[in-house]
Chain A
Amino acid sequence: MTEMTLWGHARATASDNPFTLLAVFMFAGFLVIAVIGPSIAPYGPLASNASQALTGPSAQHWFGTDSLGRDIFSRVLVATRIDFSIALSAVGFSFIVGGFLGAVAGFWGGRIERIIMRLCDMVMSFPLFVLAMGIVAALGNSVFNIILATAIVNLPFYIRVACTEVNVRREAGFIEAARLSGNSDWRILFHHLIPNALPPMMVQVSLNMGWAILNAAGLSFIGLGVSPPEAEWGILVAEGATYIISGEWWVALFPGAVLMLAVFTFNLLGDGLRDLIDPRRRT
């Protein structure tokens, strides 16, 4: 029953806003590329060919080649997987940890809530990208640490949403009923309160994904995180940056455009998802 209504709701949202449907297809496309990208790439992402260095887009090299003669199209394809993995795991981490901490804070209140909220305030008193830079620098340059940094700077948003959602239902009738039927605190939290907090948190996820990708690519652009010669969108753009002023535009343009398209997809998808879950916030 719920599935039927959700499906109908999804169809209505999609027909209301054709861009949402487009975004779903583009997202699916990106996911497919992330999975099979490395196997369909026409060249190896690291295979260099000095005689073909810095050639413009052509039939052999759709996106041209870089200074070492590596095929940019192949590198962009291969990079999809790493960028998507970073964004998905960072957002997943914030979702799970933030949701849990927020729910705990909202359910028990008191000192636990004060401590958790104080920590949130502390994280949020930094410009987020600067803090992410600091975290990656402190913990070391690795993909895992980019994920961790992106997740940590996003945590407060999830904690706040979960905390408010749990807090408003803490005294609700169905919770009283569950308690009187002998359910333990944890059981009430996980079976009755957290499921109710999920929809608004999903909205947060969808709005956050695009930002997570931008953040990760920005960090590798400035030289943190994923390190060359590995193919990652931010690094690919950084590699092309030097050639922009001498006119070899394709080195930076194609990876940048694909990154932009990915973020755009997430943002469209996020708006659609928000309309689906929370029609009141539609703008």
Chain B
Amino acid sequence: MIALIARRVLGALPNLFGIVVITFLLTRALPGDPAAFYAGPAGTQAAVEEVREKLGLNRSMPEQFVIYLNDLVHGDLGQALSTGQPVSQELKTRLPASLELVFLALTLAMVVAIPLGVAAARHPNSWIDHLCRLVTTAGVSLPTFFTGLLLTYVFYFLLGWAPSPIGRLDPYLTPPEAITGLYTVDSLLHGNVRLFLACGAQLTLPVLTLAMFVLAPLARMTRGSMLAVLSADFVRTARASGLSSTTVLVRYALRNALLPVVTTIGMVFSFLLGMSVIVDKVFAWPGVGSFALDALVASDYAPVQGFVLTMALLYTLLNLVIDLLYVVIDPRVRLTT
């Protein structure tokens, strides 16, 4: 098992290198001269040159890449020129906000989609199957930004149930002292239920928005793979042997149907990371996405680089976890690799 994990981690290394190279190339091609931006509109030619020297922008590309790699190893992602803060610091404070959103949305989507898909596959062409079809077809057509605005209009403006869409917490409340950086978890750890509810209220609409988007592929895949498994011989055998329908459904069918679903979870996670940028904008959420967007507008490349890199690393990490999950779910995978 440990050898397997080690092999998978090693297998991810070339990909990691690829990610670093692409990120580097992408941000070096950004339009605008960061040195001129940094020196400010009043900066003289000499000042611009000085900044260029300081940032290493006058070296050759390979040299810049080596410098970049070296910084990366030391956890230095450069300075955000617009805020003057180290990018790594900024990402560290903003990442929990994004992760809280993404993971809650993923959990919510899974909790709804998997039972829905299973129920639909169990009773094909019943009302629940039609419901599942409706949800999956409509869900993939929803533009995230549009759903977010619609939810805001209905639940904030019309019904007044949701708090105003202005970030993670009402400006009059103080955020909980950081332990994990996730407001909901931290407020609970401090035993502050009122604060927990306030954070939860702010989270509801953005999480719903994201979850609605990824519900569809998950439900669709669960239904499809469950349908295939339920008609397999071993399920018939299990039923014929007199096992209870719950045992057949959960222990025999679901476990076998789960592999493609887990693959879909990986894919869906990639959507979530991308869409979180849009949700950041719609709900004024102080996540990594809004940080990257501000930097993009200012053609400030260190934050963009840091953002793309962080996102890709997170995604690679999740794929690694999913690879290992395969082994847990399906022992056959262990033998073939």
Q: Which residues of A contact B (CB under 8 A)?
A: 118, 121-123, 125-135, 137-140, 210, 214, 217-218, 221-224, 234, 237-238, 240-241, 244-247, 249, 252-253, 256-257, 259-261, 263-264, 267-268, 271, 283
Residue with the highest number of chain B CB atoms closer than 10 Å, among A135, A249, A261: A249
Q: Contact between A267 and B141 (Cβ–Cβ < 8 Å)? A: yes
Q: Are A139 and B18 in contact (CB under 8 A)?
A: no
Task: Tell me the bound Cα distance from A172 to B280 in angstroms.
Answer: 52
CB-based contact A137/B143 at 8 Å: no
Contact of A237 among B146, B157, B273, B293 (CB under 8 A): B146
Binds A, one of B22-30, B52-60, B79-87, B232-240: B22-30
Contact A260 to B146, CB < 8 A, known contacts A126-B308, A130-B274, A241-B282:
yes
Closest to B142 in A: A260
How far, in whole Å, are A241 and B278 apart by their CA atoms in the complex?
A: 12
Residue numbers in A under 8 Å from B308 (CB-CB): 126, 130-131, 133-134
Minimal beta-carbon separation of A164 from chain B (angstroms): 17
> Is B18 within 8 A of A118, CB to CB?
yes
Contacting residues, chain B, for A214 (C-beta < 8 A): 143
Given contacts A126-B315, A260-B143, 11 further A-B contacts (CB under 8 A): A125-B19, A127-B274, A130-B277, A138-B25, A138-B29, A217-B145, A218-B143, A218-B145, A247-B153, A267-B140, A283-B224
| Contact B145 A221, beta carbon cutoff 8 Å | yes
Q: Indicate if B316 sits at the interface (CB-CB under 8 A).
A: yes
In the complex, what residues of B have CB within 8 A of residue A221's CB?
143, 145, 278, 281
Q: Name 29 interchain pairs, CB-CB below 8 A, sorted by A.
A: A121-B18, A122-B22, A125-B315, A126-B312, A127-B270, A127-B315, A128-B271, A130-B273, A130-B311, A131-B22, A133-B274, A133-B308, A134-B308, A138-B25, A138-B29, A140-B31, A217-B143, A222-B278, A223-B293, A224-B296, A234-B143, A240-B149, A244-B152, A245-B156, A245-B157, A252-B146, A256-B143, A260-B142, A283-B220
What is the interface of chain A mostly: helix, strand, loop, or mixed?
A: helix
| B150 & A133 in contact (Cβ 8 Å cutoff) | no
Evaluate contact between A133 and B143: CB separation under 8 angstroms: no
Interface centre among A131, A140, A210, A246 (most CB of B within 10 A): A131
Residues in A with CB closer than 8 Å to B30 are 137-138
**9 tightest CB-CB pairs across the interface, nearest first?**
A129-B274, A256-B146, A122-B18, A264-B141, A127-B273, A138-B29, A127-B270, A263-B141, A138-B26
Task: State whether B146 touches A264 (Cβ < 8 A).
Answer: no
| Chain A contacts for B292, CB-based, 8 A | 133
State whether the Cβ of B275 lies closer than 8 Å to any Cβ in chain A.
Answer: yes
Q: Does B164 interact with chain A (Cβ within 8 Å)?
A: yes
- Does B88 have its Cβ within 8 Å of any Cβ on chain A? no
Among B27, B30, B308, max chain A CB count under 10 A is at B308
B312 touches A127 (CB 8 A): yes
A87 and B138 alpha carbons, distance in the complex (Å): 20
Task: Chain B residues near A137: list those with CB within 8 A.
Answer: 26, 30, 296, 299, 304
State whether B278 touches A218 (Cβ < 8 A): yes
User: Does B137 sit within 8 A of A, measured CB to CB?
Assistant: yes
* A125 near B142: Cβ-Cβ < 8 Å: no
Return A65 CB to nearest CB of chain B, in Å. 18
Q: Tell me whether B15 is interfacial, beta carbon within 8 Å.
A: yes
Tell me the minimal C-beta distance from A262 to chain B in angstroms: 9
